[in-house]
Amino acid sequence: MPLVLTEEQEMLRDAARGFLDEKAPVSALRKLRDSDDATGFDRDLWKEMAEMGWAGILVEEEYGGADFGFVGAGILSEEMGRTLTASPFLSTSILAATALKKIAASSQKEEHLPKLAAGATLYALAVDEGRKHAPSKTALFAEKAGNGFKLSGAKTFVADGHVADKIIVAARTAGAPGEEAGLTLFLIDASAKGLTSNRTIMVDNRNAARIEFDAVEATGGDVLGEVDGGYLALEGVLNAGRAGLAAEMSGASQQAFSMTLDYLRERKQFGQSLGSFQALQHRAAHLYSEIEMMKSAILKALQDLDAHYGMAGPICTLAKAKAGEVAKLAAIEAVQLHGGIGMTDEFDIGFYLKRIRVAQEMFGDSAFHADRLAQMRGY
């Protein structure tokens, strides 16, 4: 498959850009922050997105989705990255949609996917327990109790965890923390007894939550996929999330870079444009090259998720590793090259630095993925 967007995909991108520029620019995020909005995103906006088919971008048409594939989902992520749009898109439309589509039984699909595609039900994926991403270290335990399970433990850094109606949680049903075998995925109602969700306001002013499970009851019908064999399924979902986050970081980097270039052209010091200084030109040109490398890795990852979902682990790891590094560079350079104004809250560039910091951490930072790639390649 050629590494370029199809005409249909380009149309989706152009439409998304137009919509987001108008309805959800960075000023919208600023407003959510300044008003201490408890939801952390705009529900009306999410409704509009759902009406355009974004909530169900990955969902098959028979369940009311747009079925645009991972490339389509990545395009939307990238465009939301440009405008730093706060929405439950990652957690509901990429993570949960992938989990339901790839792992769920048909009865579960029938129950959940139409509501997900309509934007009516919000989901969250609860994986990490410590400060660094490590799915195999899952310790939250699901003890067998009668015909069902009782879940006890705590999850952290759960995107949209405080507003989600349903939580997909990775639990240990066998083995010990550190082992890949023995994991099971559960789909739990957020209002279940014993489940406490605390919103953690993050540096990027987006949502995350710490969720505590105190003997939360689940039935066999709440299990997603296989009991004890959930690790591979979880990896697949995480890969989709990593590619989505990488695409979001790509959009954010490109926008921060574009703002920086505008500034370099306009701002005059020593009687000339900043952009005419070779020291700055070379930094900009290097960053441009890195951004191009990142874009290639991400597009390939998204295409491979569509074409060979089960084999896309290494390329998604590449995309997340590369995007994490490049986006950080883009954000750091953006602030530095803006000089003093880049440090002010009034100016938008700081929002990019903050969001990128969070996105590069989620589901494995660059070091995590570099290590993973080395392991995959046998060294």
Distances (CA, A) of 255 to 78, 98, 140, 327, 334: 10, 28, 39, 11, 10
* Interface of this chain with other proteins, residues 1 to 60, rule: CB under 8 A: 2-4
Task: Please pick, from the candidates 145, 176, 285, 307, the single residue that binds other proteins as defined by CB under 8 A.
Answer: 285
**E runs forming strands in the chain:** 123-126, 141-145, 148-158, 166-172, 183-189, 195-199, 209-218, 223-224, 268-269, 272-273
Q: Which is nearer to other proteins, 38 or 285 (CB)?
A: 285
What would the x/- binding string for other proteins be over residues 227 to 266, using CB under 8 A? ----------------------------------x--xx-
Q: Which is nearer to other proteins, 108 or 254 (CB)?
A: 254
Q: Whats the size of the chain, residue-wise?
A: 379
Query: Exposed/middle/buried for 176, CB within 10 Å: 0-12, 13-18, 19+?
Result: exposed
Question: Which H helix or E strand runs over 134?
Answer: none
Task: Please pick, from the candidates 118, 154, 227, 373, the single residue that binds other proteins as defined by CB under 8 A.
Answer: 373
By CB under 8 A, tell whether 347 contacts other proteins: no
Could you tell me which of 288, 317, 286 has the C-alpha nearest to residue 301?
A: 317
Pairing of strands 166-172, 123-126: parallel
Task: Please pick, from the candidates 48, 165, 232, 277, the single residue that binds other proteins as defined by CB under 8 A.
Answer: 277
By CB under 8 A, tell whether 61 contacts other proteins: no
By CB under 8 A, tell whether 104 contacts other proteins: no
- The residues, any chain, with a CB within 8 Å of residue 166's CB and separated by 6 or more, are 96, 112, 121, 122, 123, 124, 187, 188, 189, 190
- The residues, any chain, with a CB within 8 Å of residue 361's CB and separated by 6 or more, are 133, 157
- Terminal Cα distance for the chain, rounded: 30
Smallest separation (angstroms) from other proteins to the CB of 271: 11
By CB under 8 A, tell whether 336 contacts other proteins: no
Smallest separation (angstroms) from other proteins to the CB of 151: 33
Q: Which is nearer to other proteins, 61 or 292 (CB)?
A: 292
By CB under 8 A, tell whether 167 contacts other proteins: no
Task: Please pick, from the candidates 57, 299, 316, 327, the single residue that binds other proteins as defined by CB under 8 A.
Answer: 299
Q: Which is nearer to other proteins, 166 or 295 (CB)?
A: 295
By CB under 8 A, tell whether 308 contacts other proteins: no
Could you tell me which of 54, 18, 95, 90 has the C-alpha nearest to residue 248?
A: 90
Task: Please pick, from the candidates 52, 139, 284, 332, the single residue that binds other proteins as defined by CB under 8 A.
Answer: 284
Radius of gyration of the chain (CA): 21
Could you tell me which of 28, 81, 72, 78 has the C-alpha nearest to residue 52?
A: 72
Task: Please pick, from the candidates 224, 294, 330, 335, the single residue that binds other proteins as defined by CB under 8 A.
Answer: 294
By CB under 8 A, tell whether 322 contacts other proteins: yes
* Upper half-sphere CA count for residue 129 (Cβ side, 13 Å): 18
By CB under 8 A, tell whether 134 contacts other proteins: no
Give the binding site for other proteins (CB under 8 A).
2-4, 261, 264-265, 272-273, 275-278, 280-282, 284-286, 288-289, 292-297, 299-300, 318, 321-322, 325, 367, 369-371, 373-375, 377-379
